[in-house]
Structure 1
């Protein structure tokens, strides 16, 4: 059964994503004005399409099914909150360099603060957790499964190779 909690979560998520896209656009202009080079621009629309389709399918699955708040809601909320913490730690750690695109400032060192001290791509862990756990919070397991696989394939075979190539151009 769809309830105010579902629509509240969806509204928060949409506002959050729109805010992140605005921040990414502001940071994009800042970085380009400083001489940044973009890598992998051609695959960027795939991410927009994937995340838009994920939300659409999640809504459809909840509206068309018997999906409601999962009996394991506490587990899903815990993982979602951890993912949110990690996401905003990544954004804060990268500062004006954070973006939804792959931008590199030639000659600049790689950022190694925050979660980037421990892992090259911590933001993608947060995204993977969200893509799976948010639909699972409402028992939308088909959306969680299909889009976790699609997101994983896009990351492993397209985005991460592009980012790793871009990072190799930085001072270590």
Structure 2
């Protein structure tokens, strides 16, 4: 097994575990009265990430690892864990809001409104660069940017709805 295939296996496993946590959290949140907002673009996001990982496996599994970019990717994983632990049971891959609950304003959310998207943008760029595939970084960054414009607009509207429903 090459270093690249080991890295890709760990990333793939991590994404599968995250999907499991997301589904579990989504079920619990919906049972508490949460609502999903703007689910129509979600399949496109899943497809983008599947294609990104698939392309990395196809073109990168036998590539040498660039230690500089690998260090950057590992730093992004620390940031990912910070986001996940800050949100806890509220973290999902969907836009789920619980009317009347306070928005999270701790951890990385003190500094950035959408820290998870900052991490994802970084990963989409940095992981291909770890494998010497800058063209994959460019292609998937552009595709991700198009989807994030839709996603962030929908999420901001959902968060604004929660803010206005919360009594002062």
Shorter chain as denominator, the TM-score bin is over 0.9
Superposed, 1:1-172 pairs within 5 Å as 4-62=2-60, 68-69=63-64, 73-156=66-149, 158-171=150-163
SS in 2 for 1:69: coil
Q: Distance in 2 between matches of 1:34 and 1:40?
A: 19
Q: CA deviation at 1:75?
A: 2.2
Deviation string 1:2-22 (CA, Å, 9 cap, x unpaired) is x61111011101110000000
Q: CA deviation at 1:89?
A: 0.5
Q: Distance in 2 between matches of 1:94 and 1:27?
A: 11
Structure 2: which 5+ residue stretches go unaligned? none
SS in 2 for 1:119: coil
> How many residue pairs are counted as aligned between the two chains?
164
Contact 2:48 2:144 in 1 (8 A): yes
Structure 1: which 5+ residue stretches go unaligned? none
User: Root-mean-square deviation (CA), in Å?
Assistant: 1.4
Deviation string 1:45-88 (CA, Å, 9 cap, x unpaired) is 0111000011112222236xxx7325xx2321221112111111
Runs of 4 or more off by more than 3 Å in structure 1? none
Question: With structure 2 as the length reference, what TM-score do the two structures score?
Answer: 0.92
Contact 1:61 1:143 in 2 (8 A): no
Q: CA deviation at 1:153?
A: 1.5
Q: CA deviation at 1:123?
A: 0.5
Question: With structure 1 as the length reference, what TM-score do the two structures score?
Answer: 0.90
